[in-house]
Chain A
Amino acid sequence: MTTFIKQLPARWEISQLFATPGRINMLREGVVTLVGVKRLESEALFISSEGGGTLRETAKVNFAGKERYWWLARKVAGVVRRVMLSELSVQGCTVDVPCINCMVCGLLGGLNTTTNKALASRVKLQDLISVEQYEYDEKFRIRQPDDPNATYPTPFQEVIVPPGTRFPFIVRIVKPSRFDVGAFLYSNSIADGLGYGNYSKLRGDASTHWLAIFDGFAHVSAYDLLADGDDIGARIKALANDPPGPVDKANTLTGEALETLVREWTSSKEAWSGESSSA
């Protein structure tokens, strides 16, 4: 099935991005709005404060009438960037020194303080704020000593985000290409498996259920999704039927067509990179 996503330009080269006027109108250059629900499949810890003593508490924020778990957008962006650098086998570009010359920098932006070159990210993520109410549930944990001869373990406490916690996940890609949407969907699905937050080797893994992709800047509000109760999946589906904002409604992707696209694009890089595998 041909969707508007598949009809986007194949890819922007860095030279093309630098050739555009520095100041662009997002609505003229195009925006793709992706809306879904991220669900934690295991516990997670998103630390944003130093805490007191041996207590480590996940971040929280008052929003839409409740205290909720707060997952800063950069904690998703960082993992997605590392996945993209690895999966696209980019040479000479790291999270410490972005080269501003590769396809990852072309999409996620960066600042190179040596060359003084900078690109803004065209992927606009926003903080993830939970559907579920924050609950202070202190867990007692033990850290075993590194020294096998030491006898005393170190106790500490954690307040974590429990598995099953859901977050509306709203992403906008500005001046989108097929590569941009594909690389983001693909990297996000791998990042979900690797996990987010503290000690992601053992926890913090998630799943993303995409519910709608809009051709345009959809005025989807996390507040509106969270303020009216727990069934955000149903509300996103309702929004997809009549999306607010400058959106080409006929192109909205939902249901089977969306699931097919996501399945295809998250299972094979060749589906969106426009290149055949050399492996």
Chain B
Amino acid sequence: MKAALLEFELESSTQNVGPFYAAYEGTLRYLTREAICSALTYTDCIWQDRAEAYRPLVFPFESTPAEPVHVRTAEVIYNAGDKPDQGLLRFGKQELLLPGSRFRCALWGDLPALAEGQVFLIGKKRAPARIVRLTVEDVQPNYAVKGPTLPVQIPPDAVTRYRAFAPLVGTQRYFILKLPLTPDLRRFAISGYIVPWPEV
């Protein structure tokens, strides 16, 4: 099976909006697998079909969420429009992932074309990012390899299937977890990292 480990750096500020209340819009430090797969297949929504909002996106390859390698954030003040009482977040503070922030993720399956220096658009407002490190390998799934582990993203209702995990991000749509490398956890190794690939 083909797999890739890639690291990419943001070229513009963006967010994966997390907490959003009291005129404060925060960002999560992780980017989702949907964000990664959409970005690398250059697919995007021109308009939102709300009936499709919770339908899982299917891609020809799988991805871990992107974990922060070297991420910097800043809180910026925000003031938009002329009337303060209309629309969303007219004034307040936003927490942004800053340009230069670096993320790491792994992909496997029918991989898209990938190259170092490749630019793609990701995150809120579709910030450009460029691939700064790329390894593509043939990998063999197994139940034994050990090493530093990448996170996995699962639906909230699947969390209870795991006997042990470390929660990194929890939202209504997904959880991002670190799973311990138990003997029954399928995984593969790429470029020194272990990618858990749970069977359910």
A residues with CB within 8 A of B? 17-18, 20, 22-27, 47-50, 59, 61-64, 70, 72-74, 78, 94-97, 111, 113, 116-122, 124, 126-127, 129, 170, 172, 174-175, 217-224, 244-245
Contacts and interface: CB of A to CB of B under 8 A. Distances in A.
Contacts of A170: 128
Contact of A97 (B49, B80, B86, B127): B86
A223 B77 contact: no
Contacts of A111: 87-88
Dominant SS at the B interface? loop
A244 B80 CA distance: 36
B82 interface: yes
A20, A23, A49 pick with most chain B CB within 10 angstroms: A23
B13 A127 contact: yes
Given A49-B77, A50-B77, A126 B12 contact: yes
B72 A48 contact: no
Interface of B: 9, 11-13, 41-50, 52, 72, 74-77, 80-83, 86-88, 98-100, 117-119, 121, 125-128, 130
Given A96-B82, A127-B127, 12 more contacts: A47-B77, A62-B72, A72-B76, A74-B125, A96-B81, A96-B83, A126-B127, A127-B99, A174-B46, A221-B130, A224-B117, A244-B117
A100 to B, nearest CB: 9
A120 B44 CA distance: 9
Nearest to A59: B76
B76 A25 contact: no
B98 A61 contact: yes
A236 to B, nearest CB: 14
A49 B75 contact: yes
Closest 8 CB pairs of A and B: A126-B12, A48-B76, A219-B119, A127-B12, A26-B42, A22-B49, A96-B81, A96-B83
Contacts of B44: 23-24, 26, 120, 174
A25 B37 CA distance: 12
B61 to A, nearest CB: 15
A253 B105 CA distance: 36
Nearest to B9: A223
28 contacts: A17-B46, A22-B46, A23-B44, A24-B44, A26-B44, A48-B74, A48-B77, A49-B76, A59-B76, A62-B72, A62-B100, A95-B82, A96-B83, A97-B86, A111-B87, A116-B50, A118-B47, A120-B45, A126-B12, A174-B44, A219-B117, A219-B118, A219-B130, A222-B11, A223-B11, A223-B130, A244-B117, A245-B118
B46 A122 contact: yes
A64 B98 CA distance: 12
